[in-house]
Structure 1
Amino acid sequence: MNEFDNRSLSDAELYFWLCQMARQLDSGIVIVNTKKGYTIEFVNHVFSHMTDYNEHDMIGMTIDKLRGQLTDILNEEAIQESIENGLTFKTSSLHYRKDGSTFWNEVNIIPMHNQFGELQYSVLMMRDLTDSINVEALIELEREVYFSLENGDSFERIMNKICSTVSATFGKKCFSSIVLVDDYNRMKYVYGELTEEIHFLDEELLLVGLTFNENTSIKKPVIIKNLSESQYNKIFKPLIEKHPFVSLWSQPILNTEGKIIGLFSIYFEQQAEPLAADFKFLNRVVPIVTLAVKYYEQKNAIRQLIYQDASTGLTNFEHFKNKMMSLIEHGYEGALCIIAPGEYQNIVDLQGRQAGDEILRQLAGRLQKLTTFNDSIIARYTSSSIIVASRSTNQQVRIPQQEIDDILFEPYYINDKETYLTLKIGTASFNDNEPFIDAIRKSDIALSNALKASGTVVKRFEQSQIESVEQEMNVLAHITKGLKNNEFLPMLQPKVNIATGEIESFEALARWVSSEIGFVSPAVFIPVAENTGNIYKIDRAILRKVLQWLEERVALGLKLYQVSVNISPSHFYNAGFVENSIALIESYNIDPKYIKFEITESIELDNVMRAKKIINELKANGIDTAIDDFGVGYSSLSYLQKLPFEEIKIDKSFVDNLADPRMNAVVKTIIQLSKNLNMISVAEGIETKEQHEELKRLGCQTGQGYYYFKPLPLEEINKLLEESVPV
């Protein structure tokens, strides 16, 4: 039983209802009367559009009308059997339109019974699948071509495979060929089922005359409906005499520069005029040929450069790897170093990829002169790094500072411009007890850690680095769940008036206790969240919790304190940051003056004018801003006077070294600068009474650190405020 069987209709009513339904559907519909020799009684307009057969053509006919020379007879018999036996059936078949062109037809058969439960009609729902089947065939072909190229199959076999696939896909009796030409448009290679025949044709007339003469656009297909009646009849006569070819479609093959490199042709044994779908198909085939040609040429070029990197002249990695395997087999052990200029990407962005190649070449030349790398193998590793294998028995590379100075002190020259570098170096040992690939992996891990540090740095591989990567990946897998489960919470650390000891305000510090992996350090989850684009969600989660806390204090009639919330750089520069923040604050009916946004110093270096606009918008809405970690960046004084902050937070690294006269002078200058700019100075990380007293003497207004209070949960902050006394 199907969904229509529940209707109790007479034969006439059933027919009328089916016709009405068919006219409304966007599928081709054919209604077959099973009591009249399984002939067609109705077709809708979609069917007519799809096949070019109108109702007059089809009434009284059978579905066999759509069969043709290449139609699968067994499949057609299955369709007919389903109609006759009242079976539901779905299949795809190669059918023919009225003009003889083919299309892939999805046929879905639905039996219909009358009021007596007798099979009366079969409804055939049809859909043209040609385009999707062609696309699937081409995707599979592209995959096969790439796989064959990767596995070293002959180019001839690959080209022949493309030709045979196209011929099989068209649904007409046809043969395909690919002709590649040289720079002078002379036939160089022929592939496909007609290789010998085309070789015997006059190439000057057939290939050059047909495809490249002044009267033919070389970037458009050439379509000849009837070869024997065309102007090229004489040229094709030997081919027509051997094969019953009638039509020819020919498509130029262009390389990525738009230069013609060959010709893709299809010869048909019946008159064939391409439809829009056929042109689309051809336009998808040719890039596969181009890809194969380009890939094969590149692979040949790579084979020719077995030992050398073409861009730098250095040993390439494959040759380096072979040498390393030989060394290990002969019992050598030593250290691997992967070395990357810290400024590589900036150099490429400013001066192009060739400048990056030149930097690596010059760097390798200097490395070769160092005592540390005497008798070492140096090669290009990646686009931005060099790999060095030291053949000494010492498995730890220790590059003396003097040698580092030697390779960095003098400028590098790119297009006569001086360039200075910092180096990021990752090292690991190699020996015959450890696979070479593991030594590479460990050096890569060490380099990743070096890239996170500023300046020139050497990082040796340690097992803890792998554990750190695993931890980061584990954290990444749980961040989304942590946000969903409301696991990110603020801990508030009081900011204290240094002169009076009274609590003036708080800073909200994000903390995460995962239900699955436990406590996660901010030093771990914040970088992961920043790299994955989740940091703004954490920022907002913390802000929301702070607002809830303030709202609760309002409800209880308790005193409110300003709370500083840290904002990540990507969140700060988001187009909707100000608007969304204001909306969130207003949703809790909290006066914006009780919220302050802390912005790390490095954020302003990106775009001072844009940062100024955002800070002014916040200020106009009553929200204060503070510059966090002041002094750690590079251009603090140059932009500080341009940005209207209310607060400067002196970084903990300055407070830790107050005993140093030079650092003390720096802190004193920052405090005086904040006064001159009408900003509040806040010293972070105060841990001792001596630091407190010295900052008090220097005139710092506010202090924050374990000397006063550690970060506390909101519940403990409430208790603290109830019994708060000056420190």
Structure 2
Amino acid sequence: MLLTSDDIESAIYFSKLHLASIIFGYPVFVLIFGYWTRFKHTKLVFALFTLLSVPLLFINFLSETSLRYGQQVELVSYITIFGDQAYLLTGETYVYFPIMHFIYGAMSLFLAYCALRFYRRKQNELSAILVFTVFLQFITSYIGYQIDQLNSNWVYVGGVPMTLLSFIALTIISRGYKEKSIALSSEVKQKESLHLVFSRLAKISNEENDASFYQQAIELLCQYSKADYVIYGLVDDQDRSKIRTNLVYKDGNQVDNFLYERAGTPCENVLTIDACVHRSGVALDYPKDLMLMQEGIEAYVGYPIVGANKCTIGVLVLLFKAPLNDEQILRTVTDVFATRISAELRREALQNELKATAYVDYLTRLPNRTKLLTYINRINTEFAGRDEQALLMLFDLDYFGDINRKYGYDIGDQVIKVIGERLNNYSAEGLFFARSGGDEFALVINKVKTDINALINVHWTAIKAIVNQTCFVGNRKINISCTMGAVLFPSQQQDNFDVISASEQALIRAKEQGRGKYTFFDPTFLSNKEYIRALEADLLEALKVEDGLSVYYQPKVNKAAELFGAEALLRWNSDKRGFVSPAEFIPVAEETGAIHALGRWVVEQVIADFCQWREQGLPLVPISINVTASQFEDPEFIAFLISIVKRLDLPYHLVELELTESGLLTDKDNAIITLSKLRKHGFTIALDDFGTGYSSLSYLNELPLDVLKVDKSFVDGLYDERNRELVKSILAIGQAMELINIAEGTESLEQVELLSSMGCQYFQGYYYSKPLPKIEFEAWLKKPLANGHKI
């Protein structure tokens, strides 16, 4: 370093101070610029620089000649560029001095990185200053090196860049604090202004005069924003391509409302996308918007008015003839006003809906059954004596009960709601949609003038498309279909209740032909309805007088045709009707409730046969009795079953209760409780038709079961490889759960061989035996039994 004195001790002392200031400055600059650029690892880098610098400080002060020089130092006379005499301390380089060069290089790289971070944050001025400082530091270092080599008569200027950087940094920080102080003061004023405007908005919101709310709110927004125009408008009900203004303020004064096209205006973006803000040049961006051009509008702020179901129904717009410099606060205020107006509109809509609750379905917002009957009655009255017709299309969702059982009633309600919304969207003039109850909907088409079949096909195609479209409820995808019945009125039916009844009969007939179809009402359907009523009456009468009712038994056997058990099957050979198929009378019994009386009769007959066989000394095998869902849910039936078996002192395990998946899925928790109770008494529980329902393996595992029956539909499909793999899986499930597997509907040796190879041990089907009357079945009891079944 250069000195004016030739005292070598002073030179060494000042050299130590000079080096100490440089070493101390390294971590300080790292800390300052690291935090300034918000470098997340600043503390770590600072710690590393400090860790390297502290030892150097100690070495510098403990060394006899400072960190820079070794043991041999001397003062050399030196003439500076200014002509002054000075003395230069020189000597051999100390062994640790290169570490300072390393730290210096690392700090320069870090400052360069900070410059890059300033640049990325758009602080170009600071970035340029840092880059220039690093560059200047290298220049001054080079000058210092040349002086040390006595190749230059310059003076040391190594500290100039950092001094300048410190000065500039302090200047920028000072200026920043001043700007922040001004900004803070402005922010305080803005917050006070916002507090005032929001307080006034809250006050007018709480006033009872609903009619004046919108006007007062728009006036308040106009006063706050100083906008040249404030416009509040809603999408026109008659023409949705246009917006009809409700309130318009120009220069603070209310002016007449008007209707304008949405297309080609920024309002279209507000309605279809979201809030739209143009700080300047909006008229140039939307040249088709004549109002913007004619009024010389420069800036635009628009926010959506949101109605029910989060649908955008209007706009709240601020227009300015001058560009906006800082629109953020204005955006917040406009958003709050738009939200409050939206809330008020929804409140009014809800109030109107509550008034119409008596005629509106709460879930779909469609007219309810009461409104439907009223509407049909009005049409019947209006069309009386005139050659005009209307069409009622009644449709319901196929297998909707399965959705409720599988996912729960909340999910089912959401599906109904989605379908209702879609139907509402499809609704148009002359189309009256209603929810007539449950999963049933209705469409009334007024004044039918075209070909009836063509009209039905058009709307039926649309309805199917609406219903068949996948319903997304939460993270579930639910697919559903529908079936429809149609009736023309008043020509086919005149009373409003009869019109509904006729469409219901057509709907029933459509379901009989296959789901997803429609049927047009035919008067002969009423005779079919009478047939069902008559069949129900004859069935109940047969129970009283035992007219042709009997129980048949179909054997369950092992592969060697040894009897393992049997299934009790009800047959009806009526004196009046002849043989009536179970496929015909069982559904009628379930629909009408006669199944409860039939079920008791079957149980009594099976128990009576057990007692007779016991008296005859015949071996007894388990007999399975089919139990429907409604029987299973009936506590009286369960109590009756337990009572009759106990009273006649029969082993409970001889009575096997056969239930279907759908029957158990109706109420899972109660099903498990009831099954556990029956099993505790000793009854055998069999799951019939496994694989045709929706039960999960976890649910199946919870059920207290003894027997798993493979449905006949799977056995019939054994020749298809995919079905064969499915049967293997079902049998594997049964084996894993230690259940007895029985294959239903085995009709050939090939089926038996295949099933046997898969591990199935027991079979039931025509290959071994058809259902037999009691006398013929007794012959099976006299044969050798499988597994030594004998009581």
TM-score, normalisation: structure 2: 0.45
TM-score, normalisation: structure 1: 0.48
